[in-house]
Every structure is written in structure tokens, then in C-alpha cells.
Copies of this chain bind each other. A is one copy, B any other.
Amino acid sequence: MGSAFVFPLSDNGIEVNLWGTWLDREIVDSCKRGFHPKLKKPLPDRVSLYYSEELEEAVDGADFIAVAVTSEGFSPVLKRLVSVLEKPTPVICLTKGFVEYEGHVILPSKCAQNMLMKKFGGSNFMWCSVGGPVKAVELSRFIPTATVFGISDNSLIRVKDFFSTPYYRIVVTEDINGVELCSAFKNVYSMAVGVCDGMYDVKYPDNYHNFRAMVFTQGVLELLRIVKALGCSPETAYGLGGVGDFHVTSSSGRNRLLGYKIGMGVEPEKAYREMLEEDLFPEGYNTLRLGLEFLKEYGVFSKVDFPLLVMLNRIIFGQINLKDAVEDFIINYTG
């Protein structure tokens, strides 16, 4: 995703230093030879490439920094970033999920704020959380795409101009946490849709629309309940960051695929391991566990409000029979 972001930036004449983590060495190698192996195309000319050990050079003099690692990688990468940063610099965050930090499950922005405050004090937190429906390959091919940027203050509205192109449209909100919550939980709810897809696509070919719509709607309702319960804006849940991102992720991608395998009858942990072996990391698997912990820690979890989340958790971590869990969800459905 970080690499795909380079295309609109480059189209706007912005020079980008693209840094790869210690896991990305082969990708950087390939890009240096003129071909991005995941986007299946060369990067724009205006991009300079940096290996893991060159982080200091990569961020030197940067006007802003974008972080696009997995939620598992977020805390170690941010720690390294903060250690080499010389002045407070705006951070654009593409990470989706929760972060385990100092014994707590927190949102990426909170983790970053904590680390940055320790170095630079509290008044200079300049943050932008990116949410919404973006498959990286499509953005890198200039196919129309819209995204929501959650910004910490109005001084960051200029970030929108760095990225906006005729094919890449951006909506801005100040609801950073709402964007982060939707980004995290849409991965979870897309697994739930995937489970139902896996069960019913084959069972009822061409006749699986009503139930899918019921499950999708329930996912939207639960996203909405999450953001409302945590004091965020409902607009975020029914906008690009909620409905939009959930639409993409529940139609295609790794989290839906994990759900699909489980819905087809593969034992959940086995399905997860299989995907990791194929180098496909479905973030929703860990986000389900961490997200539930997060909701419980904030005292906003209830079985009545989150029946789809409960269904998925029972299937994945509760060792209940798949069919029973889904039937329980249907028979007790109240919206």
C-alpha cells in the first residue's frame, strides 16, 4: 500500500523516499531493478529507494512521513522512526488494526502519540489516519479511488492536496479514532462475511443474496455501534472509512478469503496457518482477538449489540460448530 501511494504523490510532482522494512529487502531489490513485484509495474521515476538500515537517510528532511506497515509491525517500526527523527514531522498512517503496547491494546495513533510525546513533548502531534476503500493495485493503475483522511488539526488539510489527483479523491474528517476503528473492525467483519460466503455460495449457487445482505448490513450496524460507543462520529462508519472499506474488503482480499476457507469447513487455525505459509497475512485474525479485548477494556462490549462479532469469535476461537454458530446468529437476529 505504501508503494501504491507513491503514484498520486509522484503525479503531483512530490519526491518520495520509499523505505522498506527488514522484511522488504527483496521488494526493494526488485524495485531497484525497475519492477515492483506486488504491483506488477515499475515505480515512478521520482522515487528513491532505501533499505531497512537506511531509515535515517530516508526520512532526512522529509516534510511528512507515511507509515504503511502491518499492525504487528507498527510499534517496532515507529520506535525506530522516532529514534531517527530530528524534529516533529507529520505522520500519515496507513496501518489498519490494533497495537499491543506496554501491556495494553491501543489504536495506532495513541501508540504513536505516546512515543512522539516522549521525544518532542505533547504539543506537536501532527497525524493523519488513512481509511477507506483502496486496493493498492488499483490505485497504482490510476483506477478511480476515494479515501478518507482523518487529520489531527486543520494545518494538515494540505496533505489532501499532496495526494489529490483526477483519479484519487480524498475526503477529510477530524475523526481520527473513528477512521482507525472502522479500518480495524472492517477486517474482522469481512471475515464474518467470508464465512457466510464460504458456507452459502456453494450451498445455494445464484441464490445467496438475501442472507449476504443481512450479514453485510449487520456488519455496518456493528461498525456504527462501535464508533458511537467510543465517542466517534457515526458519519465515519457510514462513509468511505466504514461502509466503503467494508464493501471492498468483504468483496475480495485476504480477510474475506480466510473467512471463506473457514466457511468451507477448514479448521480456523489451520486456515490461518495455510495463508501465512502462502505469504498472505489476514490481519483480521489477530484484530478479532485484540478488538474484542479493546471493546471490553472500554466497557462497550455486549452480546446483544454485537451478535455478528460474537458469531465470528465463537467460530474462530470458541471451537463451536460452524453451522450452529451461524444458525444461532440467524434465529436470534434482531438487527
Chain A residues engaging chain B, CB cutoff 8 angstroms: 133-135, 137-139, 141, 143-146, 148, 166-167, 169, 171, 200, 204, 207-214, 216-217, 220-221, 224, 234, 237-240, 243-245, 247-248, 251-252, 327, 330-331, 333-335
B144 touches A210 (CB 8 A): yes
B139 touches A335 (CB 8 A): no
A214 touches B243 (CB 8 A): no
In the assembled complex, 19 residue pairs joining A and B whose CB atoms fall closer than 8 Å, in A order, are: A133-B209, A133-B214, A134-B210, A135-B209, A138-B210, A141-B204, A143-B200, A143-B211, A145-B210, A146-B214, A146-B333, A166-B327, A167-B330, A169-B333, A209-B248, A212-B247, A216-B247, A221-B239, A237-B238
Number of this chain's copies in the complex:
2
In Å, the complex CA distance between A243 and B327 comes to 22
A209 touches B333 (CB 8 A): no
The listed residue (B138, B208, B217, B335) touching A209 by CB distance below 8 A is B138
In Å, the complex CA distance between A235 and B245 comes to 20
Q: With both chains docked as a complex, state the minimum distance between the C-beta of A104 and any C-beta of chain B, in angstroms.
A: 31
Q: A171-B335, A209-B252, A210-B145 are in contact. Are A217 and B240 (CB under 8 A)?
A: yes
A220 touches B238 (CB 8 A): yes
In Å, the complex CA distance between A262 and B334 comes to 38
Q: For residue A224, which residue of chain B has the nearest CB? A: B238
What are the 6 closest A-B residue pairs judged by CB atoms, nearest first? A133-B213, A217-B244, A145-B210, A213-B247, A171-B335, A146-B214
A207 touches B143 (CB 8 A): yes
B239 touches A217 (CB 8 A): yes
